[in-house]
A and B are shown apart, each in its own frame.
Chain A
Amino acid sequence: MKVFAFVLVIVTGIMLVVTAADFPAWGDAHSPPNQYLSTHYITQAEHETAVPNMVTAVLADYRGFDTMFETAVVFCAGLAIAAILGHEKKKRYVVRRKALPKTEEGDIIIRMATRFLVPVTQLFAMYVIAHGHHSPGGGFQGGVILAATFILMTLAFDLKTILGRFSEKMTLIWANVGLFIYAGIGVLCVLLGSRFLEYSALHKILPGTDEIMARSHSMLGVEIGVALTVMSMLFAIYAHLVSKGRLEDGL
């Protein structure tokens, strides 16, 4: 196997190296990818969508259909992992508790630090989501950070406790809500007589906007949808992986 793999890798590698000689030089501003569509996105994005962060504009508007399926991929992965690792017979989630347990073993410093860190981090995540129009970031990054805060809490406390707050059922519901927001905005455009995900149609129902601002605002909605799905599904994936699907004790 090793010899075979080695030969395969060498052959493929040589093919790629030979091809790389044909590439435009690295960093060339006049190479085809940097000219054709790129120019349009750079110069027109703000005109057409009122979003200065071109990445967000392309992500959520020009190629919004891609992003919807990117979100669906995350959703699909969450379902997949629950399906693969899930155990049926047992009770799947614990009773909701009102407060975090007061006295348990574990490092008090870590727990206290977590208590301080989590709200701040979540606030930052929301900033990342909301400010994606103007700075790096957006729904996906924000969603990951939100998921990370929950993971941090499971590390500091334990999985059962956190699942009591954010149960598997809740993750499913929020993930669905996220995708529904995304796809729903798309369908809304259809209902308003435009094509799928053609946000400009939404200016008819968004007060005080023109077609361009409608695009900008819808993108925010879309980003929120992405964030919700990513947050809940990534946390659910973690919860399943860390407990081999039993959802009882974490690390």
Chain B
Amino acid sequence: MIWQFDLFILVLLVITALVALKVRDLLSAAMIFSIYSLLMCLLWAEMGAVDVAFTEAAVGAGLSTVFLIATILRTTRRTTD
């Protein structure tokens, strides 16, 4: 376990979370959220929680994002928010 690496991911996590909520394009937001999940999964794997990381990779980065994209394409992509 390398705490510098840990720190790096943690900071990146905050940044991706903020960006995902900030971008005006929902599709980008979904993709950035996917990156967030992937980083999270990396962090957990590095903390020794391999099963959780595995699940998060499949679910957070994979399925959640697919669900989000499906919804965005079925509704609207733009937002003023």
Using a CB–CB distance below 8 Å, which chain A residues touch chain B?
27, 53, 55-56, 136-138, 140-141, 144-145, 147-148, 151, 234, 237-238, 241-244, 251
Selected from A55, A56, A144, A241, the residue in CB contact (under 8 A) with B70 is: A241
Q: Point out the residues of chain B lying under 8 angstroms from A244, CB to CB.
A: 74
State in angstroms the CA–CA spacing of A251 and B50 once bound together. Answer: 33
- Nearest residue, chain A, Cβ from B58: A144
Q: Are A141 and B58 in contact (CB under 8 A)?
A: yes
B residues in contact with A151, CB < 8 Å? 63, 66
Mostly, the A contact residues are helix
* B43 CB → nearest A CB, Å: 13
The residues of B with any CB-CB pair to A shorter than 8 Å are 1, 50-51, 53-55, 58-59, 62-63, 66-67, 70-71, 73-74
Which listed residue, A27, A136, A148, A242, touches B54 by the CB 8 Å rule? Answer: A136
Contact partner, A238, options B55, B58, B66, Cβ 8 Å: B66
Report the bound CA distance from A93 to B62 in whole Å.
Answer: 26
Separation in Å of the A151 CB from the closest CB of chain B? 6
Are B63 and A147 closer than 8 Å at their CB atoms? yes
> Ordered nearest first, which 3 A-B pairs have the shortest CB separation?
A144-B58, A136-B50, A242-B70
Cβ contacts A to B, 28 pairs, < 8 Å: A27-B1, A53-B51, A55-B51, A56-B51, A136-B51, A136-B54, A137-B51, A137-B54, A138-B51, A141-B54, A141-B58, A144-B55, A144-B58, A144-B63, A148-B58, A151-B63, A151-B66, A234-B63, A238-B63, A238-B66, A238-B67, A238-B70, A241-B67, A241-B70, A241-B74, A244-B74, A251-B70, A251-B73
